[in-house]
């Protein structure tokens, strides 16, 4: 089927025709930024950009050179098109103001330019996560415009820079996967209408935090580890890649449950992952694929944002397992 595959551009133009056609052009610019980032991270140590800077981001995390470079790549690819009222990123304390020489639109692009970047120096898959919201009219975004719940997302997606570079996207009509054909430079539709298997025997959690978990999470993981000898009467497998994009991608491909729960390691932090540019976009993709995304006590997409960089507990993946953990939280509370 040499010429029969759908490209991302064709898909996006067809899916956004009409009310959101301008967003279609924005998504094509995001895909162009992803290609730039793919080429950069694909060079590994040859890029000359390995290692850390002596700067920290708003999270207080040491910034990698690639964090800053990939952030710049997205800003440059997307600021000029006239679709955006503003942008926000994990790597920027405040929202980015569209330069005056460019027209402004009504969309808001929020992103984590290089998720899993602590893995970039050890050649493990990393990714870019993005979310698109809109404001009522075109113009300069106010900080408050970004604080919309996950249900308000018009589109969400991620790129995964693995053996293949893929872009997984939802515009509210299912979740679809595209693979970068490096010869043509096109993203080709390879995984239309992805569905998360409702059941799974695979869980992902950083068990080094076990002593800090709340009892319902402890109960769930203990039962998985007990396998056939315990109440689940089935053996489980465990994965932890420490790159959320890679975990979510695996779950979209074959099912599973990913957990970064609330823990009392740092009581000031209600979780590690950020609501606006990690949890919300991933929750849209998982939900559109028939999975569930929860804090354990409420669905991620319902969480009302209070601050741009707020953190939230995340449990997401196969419906039956996430709902089991939610039930354990209800029984505990």
List contacts with ligand AFP (CB under 6 A): 61, 115-119, 206, 242-244, 260, 272-273
Shortest Cβ 224–ligand AFP spacing (Å) = 18
Q: Which is nearer to ligand AFP, 115 or 145 (CB)?
A: 115
Per-position DSSP letters for 95-137, written without gaps between them: PBPPPTTS---SEEEEEEEEETGGGGGGT--EEEEEEEEE-SS
Q: Which is nearer to ligand AFP, 273 or 301 (CB)?
A: 273
Q: Which is nearer to ligand AFP, 47 or 190 (CB)?
A: 47
- For residues 8 and 187, is the Cβ–Cβ distance under 8 A? yes
Closest by CA position to 304, among listed 269, 332, 328, 276: 276
* Beta-carbon contacts of residue 93 (< 8 Å; ≥ 6 apart): 57, 58
Q: Which is nearer to ligand AFP, 119 or 149 (CB)?
A: 119
User: Six-digit token pair at 83?
Assistant: 């679709």
Shortest Cβ 29–ligand AFP spacing (Å) = 23
Shortest Cβ 315–ligand AFP spacing (Å) = 13
Shortest Cβ 79–ligand AFP spacing (Å) = 23
Shortest Cβ 36–ligand AFP spacing (Å) = 19
Q: Which is nearer to ligand AFP, 36 or 118 (CB)?
A: 118
Q: Which is nearer to ligand AFP, 115 or 202 (CB)?
A: 115
Shortest Cβ 170–ligand AFP spacing (Å) = 19
Phi and psi torsions of 159, nearest 5°: -110, 140
User: Six-digit token pair at 46?
Assistant: 């040859």
- State CA 70 to chain mean position distance: 15
Q: If 0-12 CB within 10 Å is exposed, 13-18 middle and 19+ buried, where does residue 64 land?
A: buried
Pairing mode, strands 107-115 and 84-89: parallel
């Amino acid at each position: 089927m040499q010429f029969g595959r759908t490209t991302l551009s064709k898909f996006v133009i067809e899916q956004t025709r009409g009310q959101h056609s301008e967003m279609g052009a924005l998504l094509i610019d995001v895909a162009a930024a992803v290609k730039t980032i793919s080429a950069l991270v694909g060079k590994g140590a040859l890029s000359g950009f390995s290692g850390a800077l002596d700067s920290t981001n708003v999270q207080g995390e040491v910034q990698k050179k690639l964090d800053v470079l990939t952030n710049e790549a997205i800003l440059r690819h997307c600021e000029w098109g006239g679709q955006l009222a503003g942008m926000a990123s994990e790597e920027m304390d405040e929202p980015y103001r569209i330069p005056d020489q460019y027209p402004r639109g009504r969309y808001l692009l929020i992103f984590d330019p290089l998720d899993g970047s602590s893995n970039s120096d050890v050649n493990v898959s990393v990714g870019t996560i993005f979310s698109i919201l809109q404001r009522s009219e075109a113009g300069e975004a106010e900080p408050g415009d970004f604080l919309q719940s996950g249900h308000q997302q018009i589109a969400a997606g991620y790129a995964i820079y693995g053996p293949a570079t893929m872009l997984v996207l939802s515009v509210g009509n299912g979740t679809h996967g595209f693979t970068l054909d490096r010869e043509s430079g096109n993203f080709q539709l390879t995984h239309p209408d992805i569905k998360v298997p409702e059941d799974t025997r695979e869980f992902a959690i950083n068990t080094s935090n076990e002593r800090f978990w709340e009892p319902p999470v402890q109960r769930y993981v203990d039962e998985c580890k007990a396998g056939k000898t315990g109440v689940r009467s089935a053996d489980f497998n465990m994965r932890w890649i420490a790159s959320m994009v890679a975990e979510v991608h695996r779950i979209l491909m074959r099912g599973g449950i990913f957990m970064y729960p609330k823990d009392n390691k740092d009581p000031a932090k209600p979780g590690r992952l950020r609501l606006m540019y990690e949890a919300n976009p991933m929750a849209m993709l998982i939900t559109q694929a028939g999975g569930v995304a929860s804090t354990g006590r409420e669905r991620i997409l319902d969480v009302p944002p209070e601050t741009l960089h707020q953190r939230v507990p995340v449990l997401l993946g196969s419906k039956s397992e996430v709902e089991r953990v939610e039930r354990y939280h209800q029984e505990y509370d």
